[in-house]
Amino acid sequence: MPVLEPLVPKVLTVRRLPGADPALLRAYGADPERHRALGLVTVDQDDPTYVALDEATKHAAVDVVYARSFYAGSRHASGPLSGEILGVLAGEDPAEVDAGLDALLQTLAHDACFYAADAGGNIAVFPHVIASLGHYLSAQAGLVAGTPMAYLVAPPMEATIALDYALKAADVRLVKAFPPPTETNFAAAWLTGELHACEAAAMAFAEAVVDVARQPRER
């Protein structure tokens, strides 16, 4: 497999609950006063799904009420439909939830994905640039909706080395770092700045991950 080949996420389940029970709504963080319909997905890649859920909030009147990664990632899933993440969109109107799911699925199919950082496809890197944050990730990051953000993920060593490269490559600011171990045992970081700076930082991150993959030991 050539280096930096896209690893397209697999959507394992997409289900809808047009009129979910109020108790269920509350349990998953929704507000029965404002939300009635749910759209649920499981996917085998968590970070592209967080990006896709955020994308959905830009296209429809939906909120991301629940999104959690599963422990140790999709290779250790509880079942063939579990994947690595369960994401839940909630809205007042089932049609809005459908529109949100459309945006989410399109983002997963055509946009956000991990890339192989080595020829074997065993090391994955996620150097994604969001040009304009929706209201889900902007709230998580404490940024204003509409801000650009680089969403960077790689395994622990690769991510740590590459984050240093990314921060030095452009005029960006570290918004939030997720040092290992996370649920999936990856490490991640969110950077913000001007869009071109976020893009330069993300590409420096990807390049550094490839470099660590090529030369894991300096001595």
Q: Is 176 in the site for another protein (CB under 8 A)?
A: no
Say whether the peptide bond before residue 181 is cis (omega within 30 degrees of 0).
yes
Closest CA relative to residue 143, chosen from 175, 177, 166: 175
Q: Minimum distance between the CB of residue 118 and another protein, rounded to whole angstroms?
A: 12
Q: Minimum distance between the CB of residue 218 and another protein, rounded to whole angstroms?
A: 19
Restricting to residues 5-64, name those near another protein by CB under 8 A: 5-6, 8, 55, 59
Q: Minimum distance between the CB of residue 166 and another protein, rounded to whole angstroms?
A: 13
Return the number of other C-beta atoms located less than 10 Å from residue 127's C-beta.
25
Nearer to another protein, 9 or 70 (CB): 9
How distant is the alpha carbon of residue 10 from its chain centre? 14
**208/204 Cα distance (integer angstroms):** 6
Q: Which stretch binds another protein (CB under 8 A): 1-9, 19-27, 173-181, 185-193?
A: 1-9
Closest CA relative to residue 151, chosen from 210, 192, 108, 106: 192
Summarize as ranges the residues that interact with another protein (CB under 8 A): 2-6, 8, 55, 59, 95, 99, 102-103, 106-107, 109-113, 115, 127-131, 199, 202-203, 206-207, 210
